[in-house]
């Protein structure tokens, strides 16, 4: 698997460290774009870096984490070619890849258990885009 970009704000720091452990244990290379502590930080600073790395193909996928997952997800989706999906269940992570060809998963650190978050990440990274009729829909997303 290609490299993964990962980023977070202060609320996502603890969960990001667990996700990095999971990636390392599974020999998945990643680039950590920060934030590197639970000190206050602004999620757009990290969402833009991760989205840029995915858009440029430096990284195949991105993982973004903030308190609700909303702000970091909204920011990433401002970038053309980015399809970031807010996921809090495995099935949503699977459908984001399968039907929407999502290239970034956003996790709500304050509203998901670490165990479930890791299952979402695993599912997201291991699900292929189905293509077919979904290609036309995905192609209509860009403005």
Q: Sheet holding 104-108: strands in order across?
A: 30-32, 4-8, 61-66, 104-108, 84-86
Candidate list 10, 48, 79, 99, residue with the active-site label: 99
79 included as an active-site residue:
no
In angstroms, rounded to a whole number, what is the distance separating the alpha carbons of residues 85 and 108? 11
Residues noted as catalytic: 99
């Amino acid at each position: 698997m290609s490299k993964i970009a990962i980023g977070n704000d202060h609320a996502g720091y603890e969960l990001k460290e667990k996700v990095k452990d999971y990636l390392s244990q599974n020999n998945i290379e990643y680039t950590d774009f920060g934030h590197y502590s639970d000190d206050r930080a602004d999620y757009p600073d990290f969402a833009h870096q991760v989205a840029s790395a995915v858009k440029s193909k430096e990284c195949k996928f991105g993982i973004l984490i903030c308190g609700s997952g909303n702000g970091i997800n909204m920011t990433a989706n401002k970038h053309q070619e980015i399809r970031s999906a807010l996921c809090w269940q495995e099935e949503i992570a699977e459908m984001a890849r399968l039907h929407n060809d999502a290239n970034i998963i956003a996790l709500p650190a304050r509203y998901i258990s670490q165990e479930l978050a890791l299952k979402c990440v695993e599912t997201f990274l291991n699900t292929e885009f189905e293509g077919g009729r979904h290609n036309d829909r995905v192609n209509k997303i860009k403005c």
